[in-house]
Each structure stands twice: as C-alpha cells, then as structure tokens.
Amino acid sequence: MYLADYHTHSRISPDGKFTMAQMAQAALDKGFQEICFTDHVEPINWGETTLCPLPYNWEPLRREFAAAQAEMGDQITMRLGIELDAMFDIDHTMKVLQGAPEFDFVIGSVHMLSREKMGGLDLYFFQPENEEQAHAGIRDYLDQVRQFAQWDGPYNVLGHLTLPLRYLNELRGFHLTFDAYEKEVEEIFRSLIERGRGIELNTNRGNDPLPGEKWLKMYRRLGGEIITLGSDAHDTANIGCAIRERQELLKQCGFEKFCTFEKMKPIWHKL
Ligand SMILES: [Zn+2]
C-alpha cells in the first residue's frame, strides 16, 4: 500500500503551527512514503475580505520547503503544493500567483460563500438559524464551486467538496446531506473531468470523508479517475489520519488507483 498525504498545512498557513520538516517527520513515523504540503494561498488577507498586497511574498514558502529538504533528505518524498482559494477575486488570484515557485500540485478549494450574496463569509463562520438557511448556504456554496470548476485556472483537484457539512454537522449540530443536490454535483464533476482535473478525498481528520461514498461513486461512474487522498492535517498528530481506511473506501467505490503529483502531472498508484 503506497501511503501519501496530499493535504497538509504547515506553519506557512496562518492556521498551522509546525514546520514542514516536523510534518514530514510525522508522516515518516506513521509509515508514509510521501507528503505534499498544501498551505493556504488566497487573494485576500487571512480572516478578512480585503485584497492582499502585491507582489505576494513567496519567500517564506520557498525557504520553509528548502529547509525541510535539507533536514529530511531523501527519507521521504516531499512535494510542494498549495491549497488555492480563488473565487473571491480571480483576477487578483492570478496576480498573487505571479512569481510563485514551481508547484508539484495545487488543490483548488472554495471556503467562502459568494461575495455577491453572502459577503464572502467564510463557511467556518456561517451560523444559519435553521435548516432552510443552512440549505440556502449550501446552494450558494455549490454555485461558487460550479463556477470554480468551470474556471480554467491552475489547479489539479477540487478540494473537499461537501465542506459545508464539516461545519454545519460537526460544529452547528445539523444533520444535513447533499442529497438534494445530485444535479448540481454531477455538473461540477462533469466540468472537472472535461478539463482533465480531479477531486480529492479529504479524510477530514477521521470524521466523515469529504465527499462521502455516494459522491465518490458518482464521480467514478461519470468517468472520474484522478483522485488524491489528504488528511487536511494542521498539526503533526493528524498527519495521515484515516488515509489507509479511505483507500479501502475508494476500492469499494470502484476505484483501482489514486494519484500523487509531480510538477502538476499525475503519478498513478494501485489501490
Ligand atoms: Zn481547505
């Protein structure tokens, strides 16, 4: 079993605290052959809805990765990626990416509700009072993801589809699903597949995977093959969490292989 964690946040992310070397060491200790760092990159200042200054300062990321390479050597394969959230302002995002290092892998994620209707509210802070409001938020989110999936931007996989469920069910006490949105999800998958992109199975640190079994099967049925597995760990404890189990889930959903990436090109591994 080839073990790779393709969604991890080091201290380069505003909500991370460990060095890349520490994260890589944790992966190695857990028997992983590979880790990809996917720190957050967004067109806005963290926790705000103001555009970040340009030119973007890529030096901390470059330095951190170089330091991890120097410290870890070839004990574990390390790839440099980012988790890119672009929908708030795509033009500004493209300017942010000027001068970026060459990435192995980019997760494209939507973390915010629409700027037009919901003020760009981060899903983490979305506190609907009832199911009706929660569903309005989910519909808005799916519309953002649809537009994102149709954007020919520089990313390889769509991050954690069904992200609103993480917050609504785990933090706000709802018991919601995406079952009412089969048509919308199918359109998103078709857009990704047509453009040669994939999705990630976000193990959600051992909680319900994002997306779940039903959607993984739909993606596969539509011809989707490109898929990565990532823990979304923001600390060393969660590195690799539930990746082994979710490889099994992928097999049950009809997948025979999964991907890692080098220089934005997929490398296939048998499940
Ligand atoms: Zn994310």
Task: Give the pair of three-digit tokens for residue 38.
Answer: 């996917």
**pLDDT recorded at residue 36:** 98
Spacing, Cα 202 to ligand 1 middle (Å)? 9
Cis amide leading into 55 (omega within 30): yes
- Cα-to-centroid distance, 83 and ligand 1 (Å): 7
Q: What is the mean pLDDT of the chain?
A: 97
Q: 8: CA distance to ligand 1 center in Å?
A: 10
Distance 59 CA to ligand 1 centre (A): 22
Using alpha carbons only, give the angle 226, 231, 235 rounded to the nearest 5 degrees: 145
Q: What is the mean pLDDT of residues 156-173?
A: 96
Say what the pTM is. 0.97
Determine the distance separating the centroid of ligand 1 and the alpha carbon of 123, expressed in angstroms: 10
**What average pLDDT does the segment 110-123 reach?**
95
Whether the CB-CB separation of 202 and 228 falls below 8 Å is answered with no
The pLDDT of residue 139: 98
Express each pLDDT in 149-163 by its tens digit: 999 999 999 999 999
Distance CA(144)–CA(109), nearest Å, equals 10
CATH number at 4-270: 3.20.20.140
Span 189-233, pLDDT tens digits: 999 999 999 999 999 989 999 999 999 999 999 999 999 999 999
Model pLDDT, residue 235 = 97
Q: In angstroms, what is the span from residue 111 Cα to ligand 1's centroid?
A: 6
128 CA distance to ligand 1 middle (Å): 20
Report d(CA 109, CA 216) in Å as an integer.
Answer: 17
If pLDDT is split at 50, 70 and 90, which confidence band does 176 have? very high
Q: How far is the CA of 232 from the centre of ligand 1 (A)?
A: 7
How many angstroms does the Cα of residue 108 sit away from the middle of ligand 1?
Answer: 9
